[in-house]
Amino acid sequence: MGNTNIVERPTKDQAELSKAEMVAGTERLEAKVRSAKPEAVCIVGKGIWEAIFRFRHGRTITKAEFHYGWQHDSENMGRLEQGSTQESLTPWNGARVYVTCSTSGASASLKPPEKEACINKYSCVCMVTD
């Protein structure tokens, strides 16, 4: 199990991070996942997933597209395509992505009972490896 940040500078809370910083951090996060090759990655917080989505798709995720829990396999992180310039040319389908709500008390997007239900329903471990 491992933990990492999408932006590599200290902050008091997520509110100090710009959307542009989080989008730019996605490339570093993808590289970390590609290097570690975990089975799964847990993204903690809707805002972080929105930044990753914006980086990948060049647009904001719609309300209809967003959901907590396991994401579609097309959203796997760290994927290595055939003929990649990476050291390992072996194709890898990437790590499955799981999105959960923020556990922070400062996160006001969900009321405490909703947050508890989300965490209890969708608990998982970050960057699970063999």
- Note the pLDDT tens digit of each residue in 30-80: 999 998 999 999 998 888 899 999 999 999 999 999 999 999 999 999 998
The number of distinct structural domains making up the chain is 1
- Radius of gyration of the chain measured on its C-alpha atoms: 15
pLDDT interval class at 7 (50, 70, 90): confident
Quote the pLDDT of residue 129. 45
State the residue range of the domain holding 96: 16-121
| CATH assignment of the domain containing 104 | 3.40.470.10
Antiparallel, parallel or unpaired: β 69-70 and 96-100: antiparallel
Assess if residue 3 is contained within a domain: no
Assess if residue 94 is contained within a domain: yes
* pTM exceeds cut of 0.85: no
Assess if residue 9 is contained within a domain: no
